[in-house]
Amino acid sequence: MDAFLLQILNGLDKGSAYALIALGLTLIFGTLGVVNFAHGALFMIGAFCAVTLQRLFSLSFETIDPSQKDFLGNPLKVKTPYLESWLGPDAGGAIIDWSVPLAILFAIPIMITIGFVMERGLIKHFYKRPHADQILVTFGLAIVLQEIVKYFYGANPIQTPAPDALNGVANVGAMIGMDIVYPVWRIVYFFFSVLIIGGIFAFLQFTTFGMVVRAGMADRETVGLLGINIDRRFTIMFGIAAAVAGLAGVMYTPINPPNYHMGMDFLVLSFVVVVVGGMGSLPGAVLAGFLLGILESFASTTWATTTLPGINQIIIYVVAILVLLTRPRGLMGLKGVMED
């Protein structure tokens, strides 16, 4: 039973990253009708916002310590972060320690700006072009973005730890009398994603802006004829979608150290999630994200892999095939979306 609940929890935790990325993809697709292959790259850039902030915080000056030697036998240069020398080791150290959560504030304006620039500078010109062209140009953009990141940060993963206070494990089963130990940061990630998803839905449901956007998603032309500048709103939605992907990336860095191709690793998977959920359906994307997370988690148990060898490698695709064959438009897809 403990093990069962642990896998459920793990599935929800895995699913929260899928759901966040799929949510952003669907937002872009639903509003602009653009298949954005660069969405994984936005996730990756978000993660590197956290890396960058961590590096900015730990900018250091060097002092020479003659008592120690470096690898060439010269006196060792000891690095001290400026923050620690200005604010004292405690306060400065604490800021560096909390750089990942602080990077949320840092990433939001950056991601929204990147989203705006991308939409106005590139995507805008592709609304009327075939989906294949959109895929190709955004794929090219994804390659360019990740190569730029690689040029500055290298190809190896970069460790970006969570604050010490959130680094340990918690026994989440204690209150129901069970022993379920789970890393604190992963639980934080789960609640963070629920918060973001809830926020997006509330924004679309309860604000006038959201209402207009939803109307635009349903019938763009009519809304335009009503004299509403729907393009501008869609641009803002693109910025928001980019920010969602970016925040998903920022918060993901302590879970797995980011590298330049992490976006590509998630790209195919997130497309499968979106399609299983149903193109253009926001609840579908979220539902499919969590569902596939849980299924993936169960497929990797020893029981599953001994019963069906290799099932852990293909589960996502098997599910995608089964869902698409039984429910033509995915779990909650809308009729007529992306079927031609």
Partner 1 sequence: MSKRELSRRGVLKTGALGGAGLALPTIFTASSAAAFTNEPTGGTVTLGFNVPQTGPYADEGADELRAYQLAVEHLNGGGDGGMMNTFSSKTLQGNGILGKKVEFVTGDTQTKSDAARASAKSMIEKDGAVMITGGSSSGVAIAVQGLCQEAGVIFMAGLTHSNDTTGKDKKANGFRHFFNGFMSGAALAPVLKNLYGTDRTAYHLTADYTWGWTQEESIAAATEALGWNTINKVRTPLAATDFSSYIAPVLNSGADVLVLNHYGGNMVNSLTNAVQFGLRDKVVNGKNFEIVVPLYSRLMAKGAGANVKGIHGSTNWHWSLQDEGSKAFVRSFGTKYGFPPSQAAHTVYCQTLLYADAVARAGSFNPCAVAEALEGFEFDGLGNGHTLYRAEDHQCFKDVLVVRGKENPTSEFDLLEVVEVTPAAQVTYAPDHPMFAGGTLGSCNPGA
Partner 2 sequence: MFGLDTKDTRSLIIVAILVVLAPFILNPFPAASAMAQFNAGYPDLMQKFVIFGIFAIGFNILFGLTGYLSFGHAAFLGVGSYSCVWMFKLLGYNVIPGILLSVVISGIFALAIGYVSLRRSGIYFSILTLAFAQMSFSLAYSVLSNPKFNLTNGETGLQVYANDPQWFHRDSLPDLPHLFGLSMRATHKLEIGAWEFQLNVGYYLCALVMLGCFYLAIRIFRSPFGLMLRAVKSNQQRMNYTGLNTRPYTLAAFVISGMYAGLAGGLLSAVDPLAGAERMQWTASGEVVLMTILGGAGTLIGPVLGAGFIKYFENIFSKINDHVLHSWFAFLPDGIEDFVVFLIHPFIGKGWHLTLGILFMLVVIFLPGGLVEGGQRIGNWVRGRKRRKSKTATKTEPAE
What is the phi/psi pair of residue 170, to 5°? -130, 145
57 binds partner 1 (CB under 8 A): no
Tell me if 328 sits within 8 A of 271, measured CB to CB.
no
Contact status: 13 vs partner 1 (CB under 8 A): yes
Phi, psi dihedral angles at 143 (to 5 degrees): -65, -45
Q: Which of 31, 193 has the CB closer to partner 2? A: 31
d(CA 174, CA 165): 19
Please, which residue, 50 or 114, has the CB nearer to partner 2?
A: 114
* 97 touches partner 1 by CB under 8 A: no
Q: Would strands 181-183 and 169-171 be described as parallel, antiparallel, or unpaired? A: antiparallel
8/141 with CB nearer partner 2:
141
User: Smallest distance from the beta carbon of 264 to partner 2, in angstroms?
Assistant: 8
State which of residues 125, 129, 150, 327 lies at the interface with partner 1 (CB under 8 A): 150
Binding flag, residue 300, partner 1 (CB under 8 A): yes
Strand partners, 80: 61
Q: Does 233 contact partner 1 by CB under 8 A?
A: no
* Nearest partner of 262 among 113, 160, 135, judged by Cα: 160
Count of residues interacting with partner 1 (CB under 8 A): 47
Least distance from partner 1 to the Cβ atom of residue 250, Å: 16
Q: Give the bridge partners for 296, in sequence order.
A: none
The residue from 312, 324, 334, 337 that contacts partner 1 (CB under 8 A) is 312
87, interface contact from partner 2, partner 1, none, CB < 5-8 Å by kind: none
Q: Which residue has the tokens 């405690």?
A: 90
Report the candidate in 157, 49, 66, 180 with the shortest Cα–Cα distance to residue 103.
Answer: 49
Q: Number of C-alpha atoms within 13 angstroms, CB side, residue 185?
A: 19
Give alpha helix (H) positions in the chain. Answer: 2-32, 39-57, 82-97, 99-121, 131-153, 184-206, 208-218, 220-225, 230-252, 262-277, 282-299, 302-307, 311-326
What number of residues does the chain have?
A: 340
Residue 8 binding: pick among partner 2, partner 1, none (C-beta 5-8 Å cut-off by kind): none
Min. distance of Cβ 21 from partner 1 in angstroms?
Answer: 13
Q: Does 60 bind partner 1 (CB under 8 A)?
A: no
- Contact residue for partner 1 among 132, 155, 175, 176 (CB under 8 A): 155
Is 165 among the residues that bind partner 1 (CB under 8 A)? no
Residues of this chain that interact with partner 2 (CB under 8 A) are 35, 122, 125, 129, 131-133, 135-137, 139-144, 147-148, 151, 268, 271-272, 275, 279, 309-310, 313-314, 316-318, 320-321, 324-325, 328-330, 338-340
Q: Which is nearer to partner 1, 158 or 337 (CB)?
A: 158
Element (H, E) at 69: strand 60-69
User: What's 162's DSSP letter?
Assistant: P
Q: Residue 312 Cβ, how far from partner 1 at the closest point, in Å? A: 6
Residue selected from 10, 16, 36, 235 as contacting partner 1 according to rule CB under 8 A: 10
Angle at which helices 39-57 and 2-32 pack, to 10 degrees?
Answer: 110
Q: Which is nearer to partner 2, 149 or 166 (CB)?
A: 149
CA 174 to chain centre: 30
Is the CB of 44 or the CB of 316 nearer to partner 2?
316
- Are 105 and 97 a contacting pair, CB within 8 Å? no
Query: How many CB atoms neighbour CB 140 within 10 A?
Result: 13
Which residues of the shown chain bind partner 1 in the complex (CB under 8 A)?
A: 2-3, 6-7, 10-11, 13-14, 17, 68, 70-72, 76, 150, 154-159, 161, 167-169, 179, 181-183, 185-186, 255-257, 259, 261-262, 265-266, 296-297, 300-302, 305, 312-313
